[in-house]
Amino acid sequence: MKISDQETLDHSGPQFSRDDRSRHGIWAFQQMVLSYYEQHGRDMAWRNTTDSYLILVSEIMLQQTQVERVTTKFPEFIRAFPDFATLAAAPLGEVLTVWQGMGYNRRAISLQKCAIRVINEYNGILPADVDILATFPGIGRATASSIAAFAFNMPVVFIETNIRRVFIHFFFTETGTVSDAEILPLVEKVLYRKNPRIWYWALMDLGSALKKTVANPNRRSVHYTRQSPFEGSDRKIRGALLKIVLKDPFLEEEEIIGRVAEDPHRLRRILGALEADGFIQRKDNGFVPAE
């Protein structure tokens, strides 16, 4: 069964019943998704490997970050830290410097902590166990499942934003709001168990395309929230202050504050938060990257 691109992405295209448990209904949906991927699947560096380290890095990078930015930063990060051992042994300041431009710097700390745990507790081998992976720093159940699917081709069940968009668009056309609890049974029911890795790539690529061609179905998700503006936010200022400390260690607090056009009281508060969160530390009369 082949379904045209227009039919796949159009509001008037095929819709699927949540109550249709027939083998034909499941097969039809699978064929539509896989057909789209066959024709329009995106080529990404982390899809050309089964190296669990590379996939772990990509999945943490992709949390709250556009694919285009990860595509640029991923090879740079891998060149600097090609495996668990090099990342685990690197100074945190070096890791944060390479991470610059990705945002949400706490992820870099979590990623290094994951590498340290893999080296110290699992002999350098990432465990192929969702329950264990979900206990790693910065990795919740959904990310643990995505790592299991992409690194180990395990038939796990999870939802992320593009997958959610596909299921709301094709299965909940008449529903006002939709919860993930309603979607998850469908994700499990239609899972293409012969190759979960490709199946989830296909769902994500179709979901990404839907975002560009129809009114965003995820707005009907009860979990939908608009991201707060970045300009002028504490998050932007945190990034600016951290960049200064990484570039020029040992600057005194007043000199750091003088480089940012913002209320000094706010800057001192944010510097204190960066220190408390383990990004920087006081040394002598200045700040340096945390060790």
CATH of the domain at 244: 1.10.10.10
Whether 178 and 209 map to the same domain: the answer is yes
Query: In this model, does residue 233 exceed pLDDT 90?
Result: no
Position with higher pLDDT, 125 vs 18 = 125
Query: In this model, does residue 291 exceed pLDDT 70?
Result: yes
Whether 178 and 268 map to the same domain: the answer is no
Whether 23 and 115 map to the same domain: the answer is no
Whether 40 and 169 map to the same domain: the answer is yes
Give 64's DSSP letter. Answer: T
Confidence band, pLDDT 50/70/90 cuts, at residue 264: confident
- pLDDT of 4 reads 39
Tell which of 137, 152, 167 closes a domain.
152
- pLDDT of 19 reads 62
For residue 262, being part of any structural domain is answered with yes
Paired tokens of 205: 């690529």
Whether 144 and 203 map to the same domain: the answer is no
Instruction: Indicate the pTM of the whole model.
Output: 0.77
For residue 227, being part of any structural domain is answered with no
Question: Which of 50, 63, 56 is CA-nearest to residue 77?
Answer: 56
Whether 28 and 166 map to the same domain: the answer is yes
Paired tokens of 240: 């600016």
Contact 62, 158 (CB under 8 A): no
Range of the domain at 171: 5-44+159-220
For residue 70, being part of any structural domain is answered with yes
pLDDT tens digits, residue range 127-170? Answer: 999 999 999 999 999 999 999 999 999 999 999 999 999 999 99
Tell which of 171, 196, 220 closes a domain.
220
Query: In this model, does residue 244 exceed pLDDT 50?
Result: yes
Residue 125 CB contacts under 8 Å (≥ 6 apart), including other chains = 52, 118
> How far is 232 from 251, CA to CA, in rounded Å?
23
Neighbour count for residue 272 (Cβ, 10 Å): 12
For residue 65, being part of any structural domain is answered with yes
Confidence band, pLDDT 50/70/90 cuts, at residue 276: confident
For residue 102, being part of any structural domain is answered with yes
pLDDT tens digits, residue range 16-51? Answer: 666 665 666 788 999 999 999 999 999 999 999 999
For residue 189, being part of any structural domain is answered with yes
Query: In this model, does residue 239 exceed pLDDT 70?
Result: yes
- Residue 88's CATH number: 1.10.340.30
pLDDT tens digits, residue range 78-115? Answer: 999 999 999 999 999 999 999 998 888 899 999 999 99
Active site residues: 59
Confidence band, pLDDT 50/70/90 cuts, at residue 255: confident
Confidence band, pLDDT 50/70/90 cuts, at residue 7: very low
- Count of the separate structural domains present in the chain: 3
Whether 216 and 277 map to the same domain: the answer is no
Whether 148 and 66 map to the same domain: the answer is yes
Whether 163 and 148 map to the same domain: the answer is no
Query: In this model, does residue 3 exceed pLDDT 60?
Result: no
Tell which of 100, 131, 152 closes a domain.
152
Whether 37 and 56 map to the same domain: the answer is no
Question: Which of 13, 108, 128 is CA-nearest to residue 61?
Answer: 108
Whether 80 and 147 map to the same domain: the answer is yes
Confidence band, pLDDT 50/70/90 cuts, at residue 5: very low
- pLDDT of 13 reads 45
- pLDDT of 89 reads 97
